[in-house]
Amino acid sequence: MSRFSWRSVLLALVLLGLAWSPGQAGETSAPGRRSITDMCGRQVSVPVHITRIVTAEGTPSVNSTLLALGKGGLIVNGLPPAMHGSPWKYQLLFAPQLADQPAVSAHGASWVPNLEVLQSVPHDVALVVTPAMAQLLTERGFTAVCLGWGNPVTMLGSIRLLGDILECPERSQAFLDYYQRVIDRVAKRVADLPPDKRRTVLYLRTEGPTASTTIRDLVAHAGGRYAAPPDVPLPELHPNAERMLGWDPEVLLVMDPAGVRQVLDDPRLSTLQAVKNKQVYAVPSGALAWSHPSPERALGILWMAKCFYPDRFADVDMMQEAHAFYLRFFDKDLTREQLADIMHIN
C-alpha cells in the first residue's frame, strides 16, 4: 500500500462500489430509518437521525473517531473502569460526559459487553469493530454497526461510513483529505531515499515488540523501514533482547516516557544503535496514542517522520501542527502546556 496514494485506493474502492458506502445497498426499512451496509458487509437498519451512540467495542478508538467528526457529544457510555487513569485523561477533556456515564464493556482484547448495562442505556446504535461482536449484539436485539480498524483502508472507510450515517460527510471528507496531505507531504520529502537507506524502526510496548500491519504501515508512511522481518509473529513475543540485538534498530518507539527510561537503562540493550544514539522516543498520546488506528494517526505519521529525519523536517513545528489539528478536528483550542503534555515534552 505504501507504494501508491491512499486517494487512489479510496477512489478505486468507491468505483468498485465497496460495501461501506452506506445507503446504496438497501431501501429505507421503516419510517425514520434507513438501511446501510456496515464495514463487515452487513445490512443494518439505523435511524435516519442518530442522537445517542454506545461505543461497545474498541471504545477509545471509536470515541476518538467520533470526537474528530464533532460527534463526541453523542456518546452515552463511559470508558471501562481500567481506562480512567492518566493515559485516557484527554478523552475526558474532549468529551467530559464520559466520566459520569456507565461502562458497557470491559477493557481488553475481548471487550466483553455487559448486556444488562447496555440494555439500560438508551441508544440508537451500538458501534463495534468485529463481526463476532456485531452478530452477538444483533442476536440480542441491539442495533449494532460494525466498523473496522484492522488496517488503514478499513479505518479510513469507517470514518467515511460514520460521516454518512451521522450526517457530517463534509467533516469526514475534510479529515480524509488532511490524512492524504500528510502522507503526500512526507512521501515527497523522503522520495529520494532508497529502501536500504531508510531508518530501521522497532515499536515496543510493555508486553513486548509488536509488528502489526497497522504499525508497519505507519512506519512506512513516515519514511522508515520496520526492523523486524515480516514473517515474525511479534505480537506473541515477550521482550527478547537477543533477538532485538540481531535486528539492531536505529530508532525505537515506546509507549510513554517511562518506557524510554526503561530501554535506556536496560544493560541488555546498551549496544543497540537506537540506545547508543539516544534515538528512543515516546509516542505522543492525546485521545489515543498517535500510533493507534484513530484520526490522531495522521499526526503520528508526521511526528515519526520528524523523529526519523530531523534535518528533512526541520521546518515542521509539531506543536503548531498538533494545535491546528485539535482545533480543526477536535474543536479544542489546546494550550501549549496541554500539547507539551500530549507530546511528552518536559
Q: Which three cell numbers stand for residue 329?
A: 478536528
Residue-wise pLDDT tens digits, 248-275: 999 999 989 998 999 999 999 999 999 9
Top-confidence residue, 236 or 113: 113
Q: Report yes or no: 171 and 221 within 8 Å, Cβ to Cβ.
A: no
CA atoms lying within 13 Å on the CB side of residue 108: 6
Q: What is the band of 107 on the pLDDT scale with cuts at 50, 70, 90?
A: confident
Mean pLDDT of 225-229: 88
Non-local CB neighbours of 319 within 8 Å, separated by 6+ positions: 336, 339, 340, 343, 345
31 contact partners, CB below 8 Å, separation of at least 6: none
**Which comes out higher in pLDDT, residue 6 or 229?**
229
Predicted model pTM: 0.88
**Mean pLDDT calculated for residue range 206-215:** 57
* Interatomic CA distance for residues 129 and 147, integer angstroms: 5
Residue type, 31: P
- List the alpha helices (DSSP H) in the chain: 6-15, 59-68, 89-94, 115-120, 131-139, 152-165, 169-190, 213-221, 241-247, 257-264, 273-276, 297-308, 318-329, 336-342
More confident residue, 147 or 6: 147
Q: How much is the average pLDDT of 118-147?
A: 96
Instruction: State the average pLDDT for the chain.
Output: 87
pLDDT tens column, 17-53? 333 333 333 445 578 999 999 999 999 999 999 999 9
